[in-house]
Amino acid sequence: MSSATYRRWGDDLDAAAIAQMDAACSLPIAARGALMPDAHVGYGLPIGGVLATREAVIPYAVGVDIACRVKMSVLDLPPAHLGDRLPKLREALLAETRFGLGSCFENHRRHAVMDANWTASPVTRRLKDKASTQLGSSGGGNHFVEFGLLEIDDSSLGLPAGDYLALLSHSGSRGTGANVCSHYSRLAMHLHPNLPKHLRYLAWLDMTTHDGQEYWAAMQLMGKYAAANHAMIHHHIARHLGVQVLADIENHHNFAWQETHRIGGETKDVIVHRKGATPAGRGVLGIIPGSMATPCYVVRGKGSAASMHSAAHGAGRVMSRRKAKQTYRWPQVEKLLKDRGVILLSAGIDEVPFVYKDIDTVMSQQRDLTEPVARF
């Protein structure tokens, strides 16, 4: 069987990410692909990779942080005299969020997601109690919770054009999602022992089997759990501030969807993996963050058939975490943040703005995929 075709967006894409996409499209189950302008190397499928498969799901093409997502709440707190409110905003963030490996709340937060069926997978059954303690926390890496000024251009968000104060968060399904990925990827590798080494992390599960359906159920649960984490963050911060939410938007990546697309001139039902790529169907609102010193954009999808209704999920890294730690020191960053009006409460040096592509360049390279409607 010949390799599936895919289209690229963006210039000067990382050669290693392209090689990973080539490999993914060589799989016998691959139907079609797409590579977004924020692409960089990941496990198996590159970050920014979109892959449609036939009756199969690939745990590492979904990713380790299953259903990682971005959520924005527009608050009824006028941005005028924002400087006077900074101490209260800082207090709310520090009181109502948690970051870091194993982070959790002493007084556990409650959400209906914990009443879902956690016995569908041996992994989620084993980790339900731990997941409960971590509700409303964000973990580490590139995850964040922040306030910012939202400039709305039109009425897409159901609000008049103008400036608003908004809360933005980015995180996923914590260690439970990572354990789900690890367990089912090992199982998939066991089921495909003859895969070449460079395809090892692209081992798949047949959707017609018990294993495939079990992973699918666990993935769906992690989607609900990741959404609950964001819901708790936004609910508790808004309550802490005593404000109402005027509008909210969220979208997720690192997931697989059952969709119908035109492939090779035929309409086919496929499993679409979006690893570090966000859904961008026609009229669908999404959020595409930059870095801690650059804007985030709220966008409306254009429903591009060529990208299988997908777009970039962010700016995309240009440097590994290890290299960033070896290269940068905080004095190099502090002036930039000050010039941009950014007050940083906490972050790792591996997340400084210099390790990311320019978000405006990324946005310009996907004009046929999304249309910005607001700038954060």
User: Which candidate, 239, 266, 240, 312, places its Cα nearest to that of 35?
Assistant: 312
Residue 12 has a pLDDT of: 86
Residue 28 has a pLDDT of: 97
State pLDDT tens for residues 248-282.
Answer: 999 999 999 999 999 999 999 999 999 999 999 99
Q: What is the mean pLDDT of residues 203-213?
A: 98
Q: What is the mean pLDDT of residues 182-189?
A: 98
Question: Whose structure tokens read 């390799």?
Answer: 3
State pLDDT tens for residues 161-183.
Answer: 999 999 999 999 999 999 999 99
- On the CB side of 348, how many CA atoms lie within 13 Å of its CA? 19
Average of per-residue pLDDT values in the chain: 95
Residue 82 has a pLDDT of: 82
Residue 217 has a pLDDT of: 98
Residue 155 has a pLDDT of: 84
**Any bridge partners for residue 53, and if so which?**
30, 271
Residues 6+ apart with CB under 8 A from 271: 52, 53, 54, 55, 56, 57, 207, 256, 257, 258, 259
State pLDDT tens for residues 104-147.
Answer: 877 888 999 999 999 999 999 999 999 999 999 988 889 999 99
Residue 81 has a pLDDT of: 79
Nearest 5°: phi and psi at 69?
-145, 165
| Residue 2 pLDDT > 70 | no
State pLDDT tens for residues 279-322.
Answer: 999 999 999 999 999 999 999 999 999 999 999 999 999 999 99
Q: Please state which of the ranges 81-85, 145-149, 354-358 shows the lowest mean pLDDT.
A: 81-85
| Residue 1 pLDDT > 70 | no
Burial 186-214 (b: 16+ CB within 10 A, else e): ebbbeeeeebeeebbbbbbbebeeebbeb
